[in-house]
């Protein structure tokens, strides 16, 4: 019994460590949780965001990269107090700092009707579970 408990604990710890601050997955199909770190990254692809959701600790930075060939992707936050990203040309990237605890939902203004282009940056000091992290 004790060995099974230790194994389960080890698997859980490995899964959390693998997530790091990056979190997420395409179409919300990421890991079950995300442990915040100082940095995370999101890519805008022709089919949507990858990953859709990430987490960072307060004062953490997220890099948004346009890996699509479309000249106009406009990242707009739906949550007041979240940083501005704005337009990203093909191949461009922008790193922004999230200063305080918040749940910053955003979308790509050029694809606002598509769920594949909507995501969340969780700014937290604790592990986030659910929601495609």
45: domain CATH number is: 2.60.40.420
Which of 5-14, 58-67, 69-78, 116-125 is predicted least confidently? Answer: 5-14
- pLDDT band for 14, please (50, 70, 90 cuts): very low
Give residue 37's domain range: 2-129
Number of domains in the chain: 1
Beta strands in 3-92 (DSSP E): 33-34, 37-45, 48-50, 53-66, 73-77, 86-88
- pLDDT, one tens digit per residue, over 57-110 is 999 999 999 999 987 789 999 999 999 999 999 999 999 999 999 999 999 998
Mean of pLDDT values over 37-41: 97
Residue 79, token pair as written in the block: 């949550």
Which strand (E) or helix (H) includes residue 84? none
């Amino acid at each position: 019994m004790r060995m099974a408990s230790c194994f389960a604990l080890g698997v859980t710890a490995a899964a959390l460590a693998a997530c790091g601050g990056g979190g997420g997955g395409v179409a919300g199909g990421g890991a079950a949780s995300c442990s915040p770190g100082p940095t995370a990254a999101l890519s805008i692809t022709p089919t949507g965001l990858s990953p859709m959701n990430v987490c960072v600790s307060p004062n953490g930075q997220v890099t948004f990269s346009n890996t699509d060939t479309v000249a106009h992707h406009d990242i707009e936050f739906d949550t007041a107090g979240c940083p501005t990203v704005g337009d990203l040309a093909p191949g461009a990237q922008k790193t922004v700092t999230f200063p305080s605890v918040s749940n910053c939902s955003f979308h790509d203004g050029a694809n606002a009707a598509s769920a594949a282009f909507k995501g969340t940056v969780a700014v937290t000091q604790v592990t986030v579970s659910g929601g495609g992290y």
